[in-house]
Amino acid sequence: MSRITIKDIGKLVGVSPSTVSRALHDHPDISAELKLKIQSVATEMNFIPNATAINLRSKKSMIIGLIIPKLSMYFIPSLIEGISNELNKKNYKLMVLSSDESIEKEIQNIKICCDSNVDGILISLTNKTNHLDHFSPAFNHGIPIVLIDKTIHQDQIDEVIIDDFAASKNCAEYLLNKNCKNILGIFGDANMSITIDRLKGFEATLAKDKGIQYKIIFAENSEIASEKSLIELTSNKDLDGIFMMSDEIMVGVNKSLYEFEQKNKSKTAIKKIAISDGQLPQFMTPNISYLHHSGFELGKLAVAVLYDNFSPNTKTTLKRHYLSTALLEF
């Protein structure tokens, strides 16, 4: 089932391969009738130009590598969708690689991207990554890179993020405005840049007000978030506000809140706010207000920044790109 080539078409029409190539590219030198003839034969024979051969010549692959820390159901799908949408507009294809929260796999994935000749790399780091030394293969080959969401702040590579400090500050202020006096903040893995930044924004806001009590806990996943928050709910009767750093944490906390209410046969008046992609909060029981952190939009922005990197001459110098967020109340 070997594929049709321009040589085959040329033989059939009685012209050389180069003429076929030109006709198919609407080259002005070719007569209109010959063009039509060749093009009709090409479509008739289901001719598909061999992308590999074109890539070899042009030294481009039209493939963008996306490396994500893990294929979680939170945030990642909408991020991929945003990226995919934007890439398709310019005929780029998306290669998805998961690091499964392992640095070894992250290193491996960067190598795979280089091996595969990707034209650019979009990457969100694992929760264990704390330097970018392993990016050197990509640097060596001059492959443009954009860091997304889970990044490390530095001055070499573009970052596309939300203003994590401001986001958690907003959330903390929301709770303060609701008159909360005793607040619990639940964060993800303490090594991640987004955790650190969100933690800073949260603490900076609450520490200013001496009348406020607050506590910080960390939870790597929904399960742990559920367990730990239930302990807090049970032991701290004055708790009146909860901040949840992510959807994953929110899902766990939602469960413990329910269990707590069941056990105590009373409805709590605890105010809740989460940073979320926005799919799940409306299905929490009851609904949870959230600061919208759109994976879709972040993905689109990341691709735009990557495109910007393709033309280094006109390239914007700004290295850190912030996506705007909005607080939605329910």
| Total Cβ atoms within 10 A of residue 328 | 16
In angstroms, rounded to a whole number, what is the distance separating the alpha carbons of residues 151 and 157? 10
Distance from CA of residue 76 to its chain's centroid?
6
Task: Give whichever of 25 and 215 is closer to DNA, judged by the CB atom.
Answer: 25
Q: Which residue in the set 23, 97, 148, 275 belongs to the binding site for a second copy (CB under 8 A)?
A: 97
Q: Are 237 and 269 in contact (CB under 8 A)?
A: no
261: which 2 tokens? 């209410």
By CB under 8 A, the residues from 138 to 197 that bind a second copy are 140-142
Which of 146, 280, 298, 306 binds a second copy (CB under 8 A)? It is: 280
Residue 7 binds which entry of DNA, a second copy, none, CB below 5-8 Å type-dependent: DNA
Q: Which of 5, 55, 191, 268 binds a second copy (CB under 8 A)?
A: 55
Is residue 99 involved in binding a second copy (CB under 8 A)? no
Q: Which of 58, 57, 9, 53 is nearest to 35 (CA)?
A: 9
- Is the Cβ of residue 48 or residue 207 nearer to a second copy in the bound state? 48
> In this complex, which beta carbon is closest to DNA, that of residue 15 or of residue 280?
15
Give the x/- contact pattern for a second copy in 205-244, rule: CB under 8 A: -----------------xx--x------------------
Which of 209/223 has CB closer to a second copy? 223
Max Cα–Cα distance, the chain, nearest Å = 88
Residue 257 backbone phi and psi in degrees, to 5: -60, -45
Spatial CB neighbours of 48, under 8 Å, sequence gap ≥ 6: 3, 4
Per partner kind, with CB cut-offs from 5 to 8 A, the member of DNA, a second copy, none near residue 254 is a second copy
Phi first, then psi, for residue 160 (nearest 5°) are: -120, 110
Q: Pick from 93, 134, 315, 319: which binds a second copy (CB under 8 A)?
A: 93
- Coil, helix or strand for 72? coil
Q: Which residues bind DNA (CB under 7 A)?
A: 2-3, 5-7, 14-19, 21-22, 24-25, 27, 29-31, 34, 49-50, 53-54, 56-57, 59
**Residue ranges in the chain assigned as alpha helix (H):** 6-13, 17-24, 32-44, 51-58, 76-89, 103-115, 136-140, 164-177, 193-207, 222-235, 247-264, 295-310
Instruction: For residues 211 and 213, give the distance between their C-alpha atoms in angstroms, rounded to a whole number.
Output: 7
C-beta of 12: minimal distance to DNA in Å?
12
Report yes or no: 206 and 172 within 8 Å, Cβ to Cβ.
yes
Decide if residue 48 touches a second copy (CB under 8 A): yes
Residue among 20, 23, 67, 76 that touches a second copy (CB under 8 A): 76
Helix 6-13 / helix 17-24 crossing angle, nearest 10 deg: 100
Residue 9 or 76: the one with the smaller Cβ distance to a second copy is 76
> Pick from 31, 43, 46, 317: which binds a second copy (CB under 8 A)?
46
Write out the residues near a second copy by the rule CB under 8 A. Answer: 1-3, 46, 48-53, 55-56, 59, 61, 63, 71-74, 76-78, 80-81, 84, 93-98, 112, 114-117, 137, 140-142, 222-223, 226, 251-252, 254-255, 258-259, 262, 279-280, 282-286
